[in-house]
Amino acid sequence: MNDAIIWNWDHVWASLPDMIMSFLTVTLLVTVLGSAIAAVLGLIIAMIRRLAPRPVAAAVTFVMNFIRMTPIVVQLLFVYYAFTSIPPLPLGIAVFGVHYATFMAEVYRAGIEAVPRGQWEASTALSMSRGRTWTAVVIPQAVRSTLPALGNYVISMFKDTPFLAVITVTDMVRAAQLYGGEHFRYIEAITLAGLIFLLASYPTSVLIGRLEKRFAHAT
């Protein structure tokens, strides 16, 4: 009974290599690649909804809302059983990227709509093409104003990576559970996983807070 309660540093050091390896090869990898997919795809979705013909924009909006309103666990399980020939880790990265792209698309949409009308009119007065207006005027301003919100979704994705366990991907939390099951000591490994999450996400949270203040003063 007492052995199950008392903190044991030996188990901390013993589980640390597995925690770090799982963090680098799964948790961090999924967050970085998933965020890259979400950032690019989210911008594409936002532009399609604004520029495409109404039927196309409506179809994209429907699919986007469907993805946003279904749990990511359900999406992970669906693709896992639907695409059995693809390894679970790439599937997980794709699901995270697509899922969070639907949220980032809304952030981009708000950023695009926040671009002052005068910027659009100035581009027209300068005879800039539609493509040039988007790439040189609209998108840079929209992305700049939405960076803090996009960063918050990156943190959310980072914290959601333990859901990968449902498709047999051994993320950091799953590695902690496996260590606990093997040694009958859960508290040290689980606590260590939580601390690694905190140490990795806190600096990003501070940076996002500073960006929010900077952009607030700029406006």
pLDDT tens profile 47-72: 999 889 999 999 999 999 999 999 99
Structure tokens at 90: 């790439």
Q: CA-to-CA distance for 22 and 202, rounded, in angstroms?
A: 19
51 near 108, Cβ under 8 Å?
A: no
- Asked whether residue 30 carries a pLDDT value surpassing 90, the answer given is yes
| CATH code of the domain containing 94 | 1.10.3720.10
For residue 108, is it within any domain? yes
With 0-12 CB in 10 A as exposed, 13-18 as middle and 19+ as buried, what is 54? exposed
Say if 155 falls within a structural domain. Answer: yes
In angstroms, rounded to a whole number, what is the distance separating the alpha carbons of residues 32 and 148?
16
Query: For residue 94, which of 66, 75, 74, 69 has the smallest C-alpha distance?
Result: 75
pLDDT band (50, 70, 90) for residue 44: very high
User: Percent of the chain scored above 70 by pLDDT?
Assistant: 94
Reference 151, options 196, 107, 93, 197; nearest CA is: 107
Banded model confidence at residue 116, pLDDT cuts 50, 70, 90: confident
Mean pLDDT, rounded, for 186-210 = 88
Is there a domain that residue 1 lies in?
A: no
- Let me know if residue 30 belongs to a domain: yes
Average pLDDT of span 23-34 = 95
Q: Is residue 144 situated within a structural domain?
A: yes
Does the pLDDT of residue 94 top 90, yes or no? yes
Per the CB < 8 A criterion, the answer to whether 52 and 60 are in contact is yes
User: 97-106, 134-143, 170-179 — which is least confidently predicted?
Assistant: 134-143
Residue 216 pLDDT grade (very low, low, confident, very high; cuts 50, 70, 90) = low
More confident residue, 111 or 76: 76
Q: Is the pLDDT of residue 5 over 70?
A: no
Beta carbons of 72 and 95 less than 8 angstroms apart:
yes
118, 119, 124: which is closest to 137 by C-alpha? 119
| Average pLDDT of span 173-192 | 92
Residue 35 structural domain? 9-218
Task: Pick the most confident of 101-105, 132-136, 213-217.
Answer: 101-105
Largest CA distance in the chain: 78
Residue 37 within a domain = yes
Split at pLDDT 50, 70, 90, the class of 217 is low
Q: Is residue 126 part of a domain?
A: yes
Instruction: Tell me whether residue 3 is in a domain.
Output: no
Q: How confident is the model at residue 7 (pLDDT cuts 50, 70, 90)?
A: confident
Determine the residue type at 218.
A
pLDDT-derived band of residue 85, with 50, 70 and 90 as boundaries?
very high
The percent of residues above 90 in pLDDT, for the chain, comes to 62
For the chain, what is the domain count?
1
pLDDT at 98: 97
